[in-house]
Amino acid sequence: MSVYLYRWGKLAFRRKWIVLPVWLLCFMVLGGLGAQLQKPMTDDFSMPNLPSERATEILDKHFPGMSEAFAFDAVTGTYVIGAPAGQKLTDPANRQAVAGIIQRLEQLPIVDHTEPIVDPITATEEMGCLTAQPDPSTCSGAPVNVLNESAPETVAYFSVPFTIKEFADVKPEDREAAYAVGDEARAAGLTVEMSGSLPMEQEMPSGKSEMIGMAVALVVMIVAFGAIVAAFVPIITAIVGLGAATSLIFLSTTVLEIPSFTTFLASMIGIALSIDYALFIVSRYKHELSVQDSAEEAAGTALGTAGSAVVFAGLTVIIALAGLAIVGVRFLTFMGLGGAVAAAFAVLTAITLMPALLGAFGKALFKPKLPLVAQHDPEDDSVVTNGTRVARVIAKFPAVTMILAIVVLGLLAAPALNLNLGLPGEDSLPKSTTVRKAYDLRTEGFGEGSNGVLQVAVDLSDTPADQRPAALNALRDKLISYPDMDLVTEPQMSQDGAGALINGVPKSGPNDQSTKDLVQSARDAEAELHEQYQMSYGITGTTAIYADIDHVLLSKIVPYMAIVAGAAFILLILVFRSILVPLTAALGFLLSMAATFGATVLIFQEGKL
């Protein structure tokens, strides 16, 4: 490998005016094809074979069309209304303002007018729930958007069906129109916010993060090289590598359905690795210029040494990213593959384009030199740098350093035992958004669990008709018996009489571990109820889906890291022809990953620092 890279480095340096035009032509062709032939990307976050799919199957069987509301890309909208301080929603003026919202929604074109919109105040009044002590036997049968005892007559919410089928089809004007129906009520003093997918703004890649990353990298390289021109060379390879990788991903949409967020990870990986690998080679080239007879020889030696490290480092990254496919989650698979493509182009540009660029810039590469910046070559053995000092201390006390490193990383890794995974929900959005405001208002009025209602779809096909009421009562009693369950509604029967839908409101939020445990406990109870009544059921909804996805991801962490560490171990054996170095690298990878998980839990989950 080193010999071939050495020869190619000299050739590319010498034949730079052939290599550079070829790269430019390939870049333009690939970019043009990607731009012209690309097809729209998808926003599919779904996972196959989740336990919550059982509920979807039951809904499709007994409640045709209802399961569409629980799809990942479904367009949903819920209005949350709060009364002014010291007032009630049942006050005449506030009641009229709420009715006005309903009237304007009935005139909104994007609303599905085949389904009636229920006024939450009128509905709860008719069921006798707007009292200081509502009758649980009556109000528990009401829709979940009733005003309950925890927020008497001050907060209400109701869902609205929309004609837009997929989230990707929501336009900014649709979002504005849906929000604007509450303007008159807001002017009257009411708080009107929206939750659901419709008011969520779609984040489109703007390129700002990439520009910031490159700007920071430029500053770092100016410090590293002490010259402005040399600092720009890695930026050039990063732009070419990332552009080519992105174009190839766009071109792949002609034959594959690729998630739209595939390019996000590819951008981060592409910028980081392209600059990183170019930095290796340029740094080595700078050192070789001081010891070699010619710049061409310096380029060949730099590519044969640092270039070899780039190739094997890149292969390790590609293995790690492609290994995400073992998780079995489609969007993670494509994110990993997108990152792997970006890593491959980072390696390719570093070992093919870089030596030609070195030849093109020639002696001007490290001129003009910046005063007081990078005065010393870190690879010059005659100069003692801070890195050299640290290395000498480690070499002098290797056992102490190793033990200290293991202890520190172990302490950082310990909090990972309490890792709780969760998907970014409405509670993670900025507090300035209407979705987050709706979440907080709904929590204030009904408890956090009202933001993640459990939908229990029941299949009574095998249950004798005379036993179905008893079976549903037994299920409701079981659900309400759990201490983490706040409210369970009366069953909503299907037209064929063989299906039912029960809503359960947990006490905690969708991402809380106690809520996930509640979902699992409710599912575990099915075996006993099925044996007694031949009744089957599934649980879906945001909370249940979050719990399912968390379980899948947690179960894949260990095999994923084992495969990545094992593959890297084998690769390093081939490189170093040794066991000790690859073993050290593999153990270091596992220990650093554990410390990373632990630090993440410590800071973001437990709120430290």
CA distance 485 to 471: 19
In which band, very low, low, confident or very high, does the pLDDT at 551 lie, cut at 50, 70 and 90?
confident
CA distance 407 to 376: 34
Residue in the block written with tokens 């202890």: 407
420: phi > 0 → left, psi -120 to 50 → alpha, else beta; which?
A: beta
CA distance 30 to 32: 5
How confident is the model over 274-296, as a mean pLDDT?
87
Cβ(148)–Cβ(505) below 8 Å: no
Looking at the DSSP bridge assignments, the partners of residue 536 are 459
pLDDT score of 261 more than 80: no
Three-state DSSP state, 222: helix
Among candidates 175, 192, 162, which has minimal Cα distance to 98?
192
Lowest pLDDT segment from 55-69, 391-405, 406-420, 495-509: 55-69
How confident is the model over 573-584, as a mean pLDDT?
85
pLDDT digits (tens, 9 = 90+) for 329-377: 777 888 889 999 999 999 999 999 999 999 998 878 887 777 766 566 5
277: phi > 0 → left, psi -120 to 50 → alpha, else beta; which?
A: alpha
Among candidates 60, 51, 54, 65, which has minimal Cα distance to 535?
54
pLDDT score of 140 more than 60: no
What is the DSSP code (8-state) at residue 324?
G
Sheet with 191-195: list strands edge to edge: 155-160, 77-82, 191-195
Three-state DSSP state, 287: helix
Residue 464 in tokens: 């004798």
Q: Strands 191-195 and 77-82: what pairing? A: antiparallel
Q: Strands 155-160 and 454-459: what pairing? A: unpaired
CA distance 282 to 343: 18
In which band, very low, low, confident or very high, does the pLDDT at 408 lie, cut at 50, 70 and 90?
very high
Lowest pLDDT segment from 21-25, 525-529, 544-548: 544-548
CA distance 95 to 175: 25
* Coarse DSSP helix, strand, coil percentages of the chain, rounded to the nearest 5 percent: 65, 10, 30
User: What local confidence, expressed as pLDDT, does residue 225 receive?
Assistant: 79
CA atoms in the 13 A half-sphere facing the CB of 391: 7
Backbone angles phi, psi at 82, to 5 degrees: -120, 140
In which band, very low, low, confident or very high, does the pLDDT at 15 lie, cut at 50, 70 and 90?
very high
How confident is the model over 577-592, as a mean pLDDT?
86
pLDDT digits (tens, 9 = 90+) for 63-85: 887 777 666 667 889 999 999 98
- Which residues of the chain form CATH 3.30.70? 75-195
What is the fold of 1-74+206-388? Multidrug efflux transporter AcrB transmembrane fold (1.20.1640)
User: What local confidence, expressed as pLDDT, does residue 380 receive?
Assistant: 63
pLDDT digits (tens, 9 = 90+) for 83-132: 998 899 989 999 999 999 999 999 999 998 887 888 888 776 655 554 44
User: What local confidence, expressed as pLDDT, does residue 131 receive?
Assistant: 42
CA distance 41 to 38: 9
User: What local confidence, expressed as pLDDT, does residue 506 receive?
Assistant: 93
The CATH class, in words, for 75-195 is alpha beta
Query: What does the longest C-alpha to C-alpha distance in the chain come to?
Result: 97
Residue in the block written with tokens 């006005």: 100
Backbone angles phi, psi at 423, to 5 degrees: -85, 150
Cβ(303)–Cβ(539) below 8 Å: no
Rounded to the nearest 10 degrees, what angle do helices 354-361 and 228-252 cross at? 150
User: What local confidence, expressed as pLDDT, does residue 601 receive?
Assistant: 93
- Which residues of the chain form CATH 1.20.1640.10? 1-74+206-388
Lowest pLDDT segment from 29-33, 348-352, 605-609: 605-609
Cα 128 versus chain centre, distance: 44
How confident is the model over 256-276, as a mean pLDDT?
85
CA distance 561 to 68: 36
Cβ(519)–Cβ(544) below 8 Å: yes
Q: Can you list the alpha helix ranges (DSSP code H) found in 118-227?
A: 120-126, 136-139, 172-180, 183-187, 208-225
* Residue-averaged pLDDT of the chain: 85
CA distance 234 to 218: 9
Task: Give percent of the chain above pLDDT 70.
Answer: 91
